[in-house]
C-alpha cells in the first residue's frame, strides 16, 4: 500500500472527522501486472474499514498502464484489456468509482504541470502557479513516460482515441457496477509540448459525456481546474450536476483563468466558495467533496497538516451554513474532503 494509507494518515482522517477515503495511485503488488488485482484492492479496502473509514474513490491509474491508450499507439488494446480487468476487480472488491485523466502525466504528476511551485500567496504561503507564455512552443521532456520531442498529437486524434477507449471500457464498467470519473486537463490549455489537451472547456466536457451516454460515464469535477477555464464554474455545476454527471468533486479555488492563474486558499480566488457549495446543494449533488492543492504554510513541513486542517475547517463551515449540519469528510492521501449527506 502507498505510504499515504499508513496508520498515521488514517488516524488523521478520523481525527479531522473524515468518513471516506479516496485511495489512489500505486497499489503494491499490482504495478508489474498493468491492472489492479482483486486481492490488493480487497486488502486495502479492509485496512481502510478497520480504521473506521470507507473507500469511496480509487483516484488514479499509473501512467504506464494507459499511455498507449491516450496516444493511440500499438499496444493500446492490451492496456484497454487490463483496464477492464481493473474495473471487474474493483467491482468485485466493492470500490465504486475510478478517477482518471486522459491528458498525459507530466514528470511531477497529473496535477504537477505548473510553471512555478514557489509563488508567494497570502502572508508568504507557497502556492503553485501557471503561465502559458513560459511554455508556449516548448518541446522539452515534459512527459512520463518520455515522448519524442518531434511528436505532434492533434485535437482530432485525441478525440478519436478517447472515443475508442470509452466505447471499449464503459460497457465493462456498467457490468462491474463501477463509475468512471474523468478529470479535466489541468492546466486547461493546448497544446503543451506538442500534445493536444482536449478536456479544456465546458463545451469539451459536454461533448465527452455524450460520447458514450451511461450512468457509469461522468466527471471527476475539479472545481479548481474548471475555474481556470473561461466561463462560469457555477454554470458548469448546474449543467453537469442536474444530469448526475458529477461523480466526485475537488473543492478548491484559484485566481485567474488560462493562460495564467495561481492556486489560492479556499476563501480567496475568483470563485465564491459559499456560492459554489450552495450550487451543489441546488442541483442535489450527494457525492464526495474533496479539498485539493492546498497552499504550503511555514509550519506545514512535508505533510501540509496545518493547511489541511484549515481547508477542512473551512469546508465544514460551508457545509454547516448550507445544510445546517456538518457534512461527512473524506481523506485522499494527505488531503481531506466532504461528502454531502442525503436530506
Strand 246-251 to strand 253-255: parallel, antiparallel, or no bridges (unpaired)? Answer: unpaired
Helix, strand, coil shares, percent, the chain, to 5? 40, 20, 40
Superfamily of domain 3-338: Divalent-metal-dependent TIM barrel enzymes (3.20.20.150)
Q: Divide the 343 residues of the chain into consecutive groups of 10 and give the mean pLDDT of each group.
A: 60 82 64 87 91 89 92 97 97 96 83 88 95 92 84 95 98 98 96 95 98 98 97 98 96 96 95 96 90 90 84 87 58 39 34
Q: What is the pLDDT of residue 31?
A: 61
The predicted-structure confidence for 97-126, as pLDDT tens digits, reads as follows 999 999 998 877 766 689 999 999 999 999
Task: Using the CB atoms, write b or e for 83-115: b if 16+ within 10 Å.
Answer: bbbbbbbbbebebbbbbbbbbbbbeeebbebbe
d(CA 308, CA 317): 14
DSSP characters for 5-66? GSHHHHHHHHHTTEEEEE--S--TTTTTTTS--HHHHHHHHHHHHHTT-EEEEEE---GGGT
**Every domain of the chain and the residues it spans:** 3-338
Share of the chain above pLDDT 90, in %: 64
Amino acid at each position: 500500500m502507498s505510504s499515504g494509507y499508513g496508520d498515521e494518515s488514517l488516524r488523521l482522517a478520523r481525527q479531522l472527522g473524515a468518513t471516506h477515503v479516496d485511495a489512489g495511485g500505486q497499489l503494491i503488488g499490482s504495478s508489474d501486472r498493468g491492472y489492479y488485482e482483486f486481492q490488493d484492492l480487497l486488502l486495502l479496502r479492509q485496512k481502510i474499514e478497520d480504521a473506521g473509514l470507507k473507500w469511496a474513490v480509487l483516484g488514479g491509474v499509473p501512467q504506464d498502464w494507459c499511455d498507449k491508450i491516450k496516444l493511440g499507439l500499438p499496444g493500446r488494446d492490451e492496456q484497454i484489456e487490463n483496464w477492464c480487468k481493473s474495473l471487474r476487480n474493483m467491482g468485485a472488491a466493492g470500490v465504486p468509482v475510478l478517477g482518471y485523466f486522459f491528458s498525459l502525466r507530466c514528470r511531477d504528476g497529473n496535477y504537477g504541470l505548473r510553471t512555478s511551485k514557489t509563488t508567494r500567496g497570502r502572508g508568504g504561503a507557497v502556492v503553485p502557479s501557471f503561465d502559458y507564455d513560459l511554455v508556449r512552443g516548448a518541446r522539452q521532456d515534459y512527459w512520463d513516460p518520455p515522448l519524442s520531442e518531434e511528436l505532434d498529437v492533434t485535437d482530432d486524434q485525441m478525440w478519436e482515441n478517447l472515443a475508442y477507449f470509452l466505447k471499449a471500457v464503459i460497457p465493462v464498467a456498467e457490468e462491474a457496477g463501477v463509475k468512471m470519473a474523468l478529470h479535466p486537463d489541468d492546466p486547461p490549455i493546448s497544446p503543451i509540448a506538442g500534445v493536444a489537451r482536449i478536456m479544456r472547456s465546458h463545451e469539451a466536457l459536454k461533448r465527452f459525456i455524450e460520447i458514450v451516454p451511461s450512468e457509469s460515464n461522468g466527471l471527476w469535477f475539479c472545481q479548481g481546474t474548471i475555474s481556470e477555464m473561461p466561463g462560469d464554474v457555477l454554470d458548469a455545476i448546474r449543467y453537469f450536476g442536474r444530469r448526475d454527471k458529477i461523480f466526485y468533486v475537488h473543492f478548491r479555488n484559484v485566481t485567474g483563468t488560462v493562460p495564467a492563474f495561481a492556486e489560492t486558499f479556499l476563501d480567496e480566488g475568483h470563485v465564491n466558495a459559499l456560492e459554489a457549495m450552495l450550487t451543489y446543494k441546488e442541483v442535489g449533488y450527494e457525492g464526495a467533496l474533496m479539498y485539493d492543492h492546498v497552499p504550503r504554510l511555514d509550519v506545514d513541513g512535508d505533510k501540509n497538516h496545518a493547511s489541511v486542517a484549515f481547508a477542512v475547517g473551512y469546508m465544514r463551515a460551508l457545509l454547516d451554513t448550507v445544510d445546517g449540519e456538518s457534512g461527512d469528510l473524506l481523506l485522499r492521501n494527505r488531503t481531506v474532503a466532504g461528502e454531502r449527506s442525503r436530506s
